[in-house]
Amino acid sequence: MSKVARKIVPKSIFNIRKSSRAPFIAIDGTAIKQFCQTREAAEIARVIKLVKPRLPQVIIDSHLELHSQNLAQLHKAHATSAAGTPSRL
């Protein structure tokens, strides 16, 4: 797991201490990935700067651009799928 994921993901999803004490229990990587992908780009950038303060600005900018594009696609896909389904009342 990356240092950023360890800082962002809540302990209910990824508890490092519990995982190290019981290494035979599987870690749900898809839940961690999904949680990190739904965070705002500014929040991810803030944590990246805390974890790696000497990270080149080029890497941070490329990450923010990529993440914002993925988030826009996710919202667009969600909006189109929600618009096509009838509402249940």
**Which range is most confident: 9-18, 48-57, 72-81?**
9-18
The verdict on residue 88 lying in a domain is: no
The dihedrals phi and psi of 84, each to the nearest 5 degrees, come to -80, -15
- pTM summary value: 0.49
Tally of structural domains, the chain: 1
The verdict on residue 12 lying in a domain is: yes
| Mean pLDDT lowest among 11-20, 30-39, 52-61 | 52-61
Residues 15, 23: Cα–Cα separation, whole Å: 12
Kindly report, residue by residue over 23-45, the tens digit of the pLDDT: 888 888 888 888 888 888 888 88
The verdict on residue 37 lying in a domain is: yes
- Which of 31-65 are b and which e, b meaning 16 or more Cβ less than 10 Å from the residue's Cβ? ebeebbeeeebeebbebbeeeeeeeeeeeeeebee
Q: Is the pLDDT of residue 89 over 60?
A: no
The verdict on residue 15 lying in a domain is: yes
The verdict on residue 33 lying in a domain is: yes
- 86: pLDDT confidence band, cut at 50, 70 and 90? low
The verdict on residue 17 lying in a domain is: yes
Residues 9, 36: Cα–Cα separation, whole Å: 7
pLDDT at res. 87 = 52
Domain that holds residue 55: 3-80
The verdict on residue 86 lying in a domain is: no
